[in-house]
Every structure is written in C-alpha cells, then in structure tokens.
C-alpha cells in the first residue's frame, strides 16, 4: 500500500512538472497544440496558482497596458469590493511637511481608494464641505463623510446607486472613465461622470439626489443627446481625460457644469454642441443654456459673487494651460463669451507630423485678434492646472497636477493677476477646497488629504 502511494506521489510530481514546463514555459509546442487556450488558463489558475499570480503581477507592471486583464481590472475590483462592504474608513496621519511659503502641510493618507484617473493606481477622489462636514467621493463611487477632522479624519460610508450610471463595464474599458466631481448645496448632492451614452460613445453627464447620511438615490439631471465615439469620430482622436466635469453652484436654481471636447476640437466652436463649454443647468427642469464656449478641458471653476466674476482654469494642449475670467455683466442670451479653443491657444498640438491639424486648428497665439477673450494667464509649459478657490477679498489659490504645486495670486482693481506665487507640494493636486481658513487638498499620488492652515 505504501509502495503504491509512493508511486502515485512520484507520478503526480512528474506530471506536475511536465505540465508546468509544457504549458507555462512555452515548451513542447506539439503537445501544447492539443490543449486549448481556455484549458491552459484553467490549469494555470487552479493547478499552478503561483504562476498565474506571477503572470498577473507582471501585467500590472506594464504601465502602457489598457487591457481589462491588467492593473485597471484589479484596482477597480478592489475598490468596488470595498464599497460593497459598506465599511467605514479611516486615514493615517503622516509627518507634517514644511512648505516654502512658511506654511505647514498636514497629510492624512487614504487606504481604500485604489483606482485612479490619470495614474491607474493608486486611487483619486474629490472633496466638498456641507454643514461643517467633510465629504469625499472616489473616482469609482465610494462616498463618505467625516464630522470631526481636527486631529484625525475618519469617514463613514454612504450607500448610493452611483454605479447604476457608470460601473464595472465602463471602468474596465479605461481608467479615464470615472466620476469627475462632487458638489453639495442646499441639501442636494451633485456628481458628474463620463457617461457611455451609446456603446463606446461618451459625454459628460450629471446626477443628483437629496443628501442623506445613510443612503442616497441619485437620478439623472443632465445628459447630452450627442456623444463622441471613441473610434469613429471626425479627427480619429479620442481622450476622455478631456471631459471636464467640474460642478459649482450658481444660484438656488442653477449649477454650472464644465464639459471638455474629448479631443474632438471642432465641437468647442459649435454652438449646437455642449462640448468645450460651460453650461448652466436648471435643477428644477433639467433645461440648460450655454454659459461660455471655446474651452478645451475645464478643470477648475469658481463663482466670485462679490466681484461678479467666474474664474475658470483649463488644460491646454502641449503648453497653454489657462486661467480665464468670465464677467457676469457680459453674460446674456445674445452673448456667449468665447475663449478661442481650438483657434487660439498659447500651446501646440501634441503630434502633427503632416501639419494637417494646424490647417483645421491653427492655435494662434493671440485671442483678441480673432475675436476671442484673452486668458488672464497662459502657462507655457503646461502645469496641469486643476481646481481654483477664493481665499480672500481678491485672493485666490489653485492647484496643479503635472507641476505638483499650489499657486497663490491676487487680482488688482482691473482684474489683472499680480503676485503669482508657486509653492511645491510634491503631489498631484486633483481637488481643492477652502474651509474655515484652511485649504483642503486631494493629493492623488499618495493618495491622501492635505490640510494647510492660512492663519
């Protein structure tokens, strides 16, 4: 009996190594031909799981891979599994950092945001304040709030149906398909996202619901009738990073939403399209009007009621990030402020080997010579400009992604930028809010929440 058992063990070991060597290491090609790909996958997964795991880990390291069987798949799955668990989540306070302007940056690291927008991993998110509470939304739909955040930040999850609007099917297609911003106003909560309106055809949409600390049922507020196909489009280019999605409150009945051009540049000058625009949406009947146009990818938006202006920040092409000022005195149904994209810009096209793009989209350096409004400032090279907030009478701050810095500036009596100051943060700043004389930053390299006191 023992002899038979020994022979069986020896035979099993020999068979193990033969199959392992044959299928995993691409040897004995004739024998492999008799094994289907599906069966090879099953043998790897169940008989040789260490090989299967190793193979997947190698795939995760391929930074250029956009395959669902890669880091996108695992990051999204991990984050959505955490969301389904409905567990609360804490942050871990990290050592403070001294900044170049004499201020101190406190960091609170997040551990449950796994799937990013620009970086596939780690995750990213958006923040807002309401009734002294800090709210947070991940790029894949985790929603939570924190009531006390002086010494530590601990979030309680809020159940929601956000993934009914964009879910695993869309997330696995690419990491740039995601939720884009969070706004809470007057007991309403608004969330923007890249919507797959038709198969592989996208645009930026908005949902909202009544704020509830336990469960929120979101409904559609705005969705365009038109979309940009990821393959079959006029310019044969598509980029959902250029989707905009920033939301701000305008008045009791309206919100403003930014919508990017998805790299279909011509749409920014088409008044029949919402792309490359800021739109003003009526929250009572879902109607909308164009608020401004000629934008590429608006990433920051601020309503300064006291100074009667809106400040907008947007990503340019290769160079040409902009800060734009929209005067509320000039807003009316007969006049849509036009900021020039893609006819005017301080930047250049990323790739144009034949010069064809400049024939359609010349990117003139001057805006005013061609009937457009000049930006307050253009950044060449680009800094990856992000959200903008008001911190004083005519003082403002905005973040950057590419430059990993925070910027402070002031407007003079003629609404010109003075005293622009750059402060290195050393992390991509995805979102920014000003509350109780403190700046709150969503830092997406960690990811973490940064806090800077301006007292």
- Can you list the domains of the chain with their CATH numbers? 2-60 (no CATH), 90-453 (2.120.10.30)
Name the pLDDT band for 5 (thresholds 50, 70, 90).
low
Q: Chain centroid to CA 415: how far? A: 30
Q: For residue range 370-419, what is the model confidence (pLDDT) as tens digits? A: 999 999 999 999 999 999 999 999 999 999 999 999 999 999 999 999 99
Of 105, 90, 94, whose CA–CA distance to 153 is shortest? Answer: 90
Q: What's the rounded Cα separation, in Å, for the pair 219 and 200?
A: 22
Residue 137: predicted pLDDT:
98
Q: For residue range 113-164, what is the model confidence (pLDDT) as tens digits? A: 999 999 889 999 999 999 999 999 999 999 999 998 877 899 999 999 999 9
Angle at 196 between CA 400 and CA 57, to 5 degrees: 65
| DSSP codes of every residue in 346-372 | SSB-S--TTSHHHHH---BS-SGGGT-
Q: Cα dihedral sign for 281, 244, 375, 400?
A: positive
Token pair listed for 42: 């099953």
Residue 271: predicted pLDDT:
97
Backbone angles phi, psi at 23, to 5 degrees: -90, -40
pLDDT exceeds cutoff 50 at 93: yes
Name the pLDDT band for 454 (thresholds 50, 70, 90).
very high
Q: Chain centroid to CA 292: how far? A: 22
Cα dist. 400→99, 108, 231, 300, 437 in Å?
16, 19, 30, 10, 20
pLDDT exceeds cutoff 50 at 68: no
pLDDT exceeds cutoff 90 at 450: yes
pLDDT exceeds cutoff 50 at 31: no
Residue 57: predicted pLDDT:
40
35, 41 Cβ separation under 8 angstroms: no
pLDDT exceeds cutoff 90 at 174: yes
Q: What's the rounded Cα separation, in Å, for the pair 409 and 396?
A: 6
pLDDT exceeds cutoff 80 at 3: no
Q: For residue range 225-242, what is the model confidence (pLDDT) as tens digits? A: 999 999 999 999 999 999
Residue 15: predicted pLDDT:
53
Q: How many CB atoms lie within 10 A of CB 123?
A: 27
For residue 149, the SS3 value is coil
Q: What's the rounded Cα separation, in Å, for the pair 241 and 124?
A: 14
Identify which has the larger pLDDT, 354 or 58. Answer: 354
Residue 119: predicted pLDDT:
87
The DSSP secondary-structure symbol of 224 reads: -
Q: Burial letters for 64-90: b for 16+ Cβ neighbours within 10 Å, e otherwise?
A: eeeeeebbbbbbbbbbbebbeeeeebe
pLDDT exceeds cutoff 70 at 346: yes
Q: How many CB atoms lie within 10 A of CB 191?
A: 28
Name the pLDDT band for 24 (thresholds 50, 70, 90).
very low
Q: Mean pLDDT over all residues of the chain?
A: 88
Class of residue 306 by CB neighbours under 10 A (exposed 0-12, middle 13-18, buried 19+): exposed
Residue with structure tokens 């007292």? 455
pLDDT exceeds cutoff 80 at 216: yes
Name the pLDDT band for 428 (thresholds 50, 70, 90).
very high
Bridge partners, 202 (sequence order) = 196, 228
Of 270, 276, 233, 265, whose CA–CA distance to 342 is shortest? Answer: 265
Q: What's the rounded Cα separation, in Å, for the pair 285 and 197?
A: 20
Q: Calculate what percentage of the chain has a pLDDT beyond 90.
A: 79
Name the pLDDT band for 17 (thresholds 50, 70, 90).
low
Residue with structure tokens 């599994």? 81
Residue 26: predicted pLDDT:
42
pLDDT exceeds cutoff 90 at 21: no
233, 264 Cβ separation under 8 angstroms: yes
277, 204 Cβ separation under 8 angstroms: no
Bridge partners, 399 (sequence order) = 406
Name the pLDDT band for 355 (thresholds 50, 70, 90).
confident
Name the pLDDT band for 249 (thresholds 50, 70, 90).
very high
The DSSP secondary-structure symbol of 241 reads: T
For residue 13, the SS3 value is helix
Q: Chain centroid to CA 383: how far? A: 16
For residue 330, the SS3 value is helix
Residue 60: predicted pLDDT:
38
Backbone angles phi, psi at 86, to 5 degrees: 60, 30
Residue with structure tokens 């391929």? 62
Residue 1: predicted pLDDT:
57
């Amino acid at each position: 009996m023992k002899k038979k058992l020994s022979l069986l063990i020896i035979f099993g070991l020999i068979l193990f190594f033969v199959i392992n060597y044959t299928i995993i290491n691409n040897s004995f090609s004739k024998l492999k031909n008799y094994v289907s790909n599906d069966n090879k996958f099953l043998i790897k997964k169940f008989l040789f799981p260490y090989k299967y795991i190793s193979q997947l880990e190698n795939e995760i390291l391929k930074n250029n891979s956009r395959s669902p069987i890669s880091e996108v798949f695992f990051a999204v799955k991990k984050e959505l599994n955490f969301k389904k668990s409905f567990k609360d989540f804490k942050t871990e306070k990290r050592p403070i950092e001294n900044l170049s302007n004499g201020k101190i940056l406190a960091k609170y690291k997040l551990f449950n945001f796994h799937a990013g927008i620009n970086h596939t991993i780690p995750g990213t998110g958006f923040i807002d304040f309401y009734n002294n509470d800090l709210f947070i939304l991940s790029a894949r739909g985790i929603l939570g709030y924190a009531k006390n955040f002086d010494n530590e930040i601990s979030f309680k999850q809020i159940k929601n149906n956000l993934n009914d609007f964009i879910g695993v099917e869309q997330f696995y297609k690419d990491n740039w398909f995601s939720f884009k911003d969070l706004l809470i106003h007057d007991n309403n909560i608004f969330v923007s996202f890249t919507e797959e309106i038709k198969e592989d055809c996208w645009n930026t949409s908005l949902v909202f619901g009544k704020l509830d600390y336990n469960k929120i049922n979101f409904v559609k507020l705005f969705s365009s009738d038109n979309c940009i196909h990821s393959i079959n489009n006029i310019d044969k280019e598509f980029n959902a990073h250029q989707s905009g999605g920033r939301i701000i409150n305008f008045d009791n009945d309206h919100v403003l939403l930014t919508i990017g051009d998805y790299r279909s540049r011509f749409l920014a000058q088409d008044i029949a399209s919402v792309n490359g625009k800021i739109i003003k949406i009526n929250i009572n009947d879902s109607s909308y009007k164009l608020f401004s146009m000629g934008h590429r990818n608006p990433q920051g938006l601020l309503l300064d009621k006291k100074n009667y202006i809106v400040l907008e920040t947007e990503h340019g092409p290769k160079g040409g990030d902009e800060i734009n000022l929209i005067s509320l005195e000039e807003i009316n149904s007969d006049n849509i402020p036009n900021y020039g994209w893609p006819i005017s810009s301080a930047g250049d096209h990323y790739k144009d080997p034949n010069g064809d793009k400049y024939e359609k989209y010349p990117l003139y350096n001057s805006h005013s010579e061609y009937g457009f409004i000049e930006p307050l400032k253009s950044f060449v090279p680009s800094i990856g400009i992000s959200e903008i907030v008001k911190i004083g009478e005519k003082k403002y701050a905005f973040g950057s992604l590419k430059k990993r810095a925070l910027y402070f500036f002031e407007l003079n009596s003629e609404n010109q930028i003075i005293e622009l100051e750059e402060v290195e943060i050393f992390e991509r700043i995805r979102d920014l809010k000003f509350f109780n004389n403190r700046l709150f930053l969503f830092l997406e390299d960690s990811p973490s929440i940064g806090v800077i006191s301006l007292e």
